[in-house]
Amino acid sequence: MMTKNHLAGGKDLTQMALGAFSETAYEGVGFGLGFETSLGEVQTGALGVGDFYWGGAASTIFWVDPSEELCVVFMTQLMPSATFNFRGQLKNIIYAALDD
C-alpha cells in the first residue's frame, strides 16, 4: 500500500500537485502512502516501472527498484537542489551501468 499509486483515478502528479517543489518531472509519477512511484516508462521517460523513491533537501534521493533488486542512496549537499539536476541524471546513469 505504501508504494502503490493512491492518487484519485490513477492520476499522476502533473494533474494533482499544487506548485513546483522539485526539479524532477511529475509526468508519470504517482504517490503512495509514503513514496513517489513510477507509473510507466513511457509516461516518465525513464526506466524503473514500479520503483519507489523520495528526494530530500540538498539534492539527496533514495530509490528502490524491486524488479532489478536495486537500492540507491545518493547523499550530497547542494542547495538549492535545482542548481544541478543530479536527481534527473542519476537514474539514467545507474540503469545504463547495469549489466545483466
Higher pLDDT pick, 82 / 92:
92
Going by pLDDT thresholds of 50, 70 and 90, the confidence category of residue 38 is confident
Going by pLDDT thresholds of 50, 70 and 90, the confidence category of residue 82 is confident
Which structural domain, as residue segments, surrounds residue 27?
Answer: 8-97
Is 2 part of any domain?
A: no
Query: What is the per-residue pLDDT for 74?
Result: 92
Is 14 part of any domain?
A: yes
Q: Residue 87, Cβ neighbours under 10 Å: how many?
A: 20
Query: What is the per-residue pLDDT for 14?
Result: 83
Specify the pTM: 0.74
Going by pLDDT thresholds of 50, 70 and 90, the confidence category of residue 19 is low
Helix, strand, or coil (residue 37)? strand
Is 17 part of any domain?
A: yes
The span from the CA of 29 to the CA of 36, in Å, is: 6
Is 37 part of any domain?
A: yes
Torsion angle of C-alpha atoms 78, 24, 12, 49, degrees rounded to 10: -100
Is 1 part of any domain?
A: no
pLDDT of 64 > 90? The answer is yes
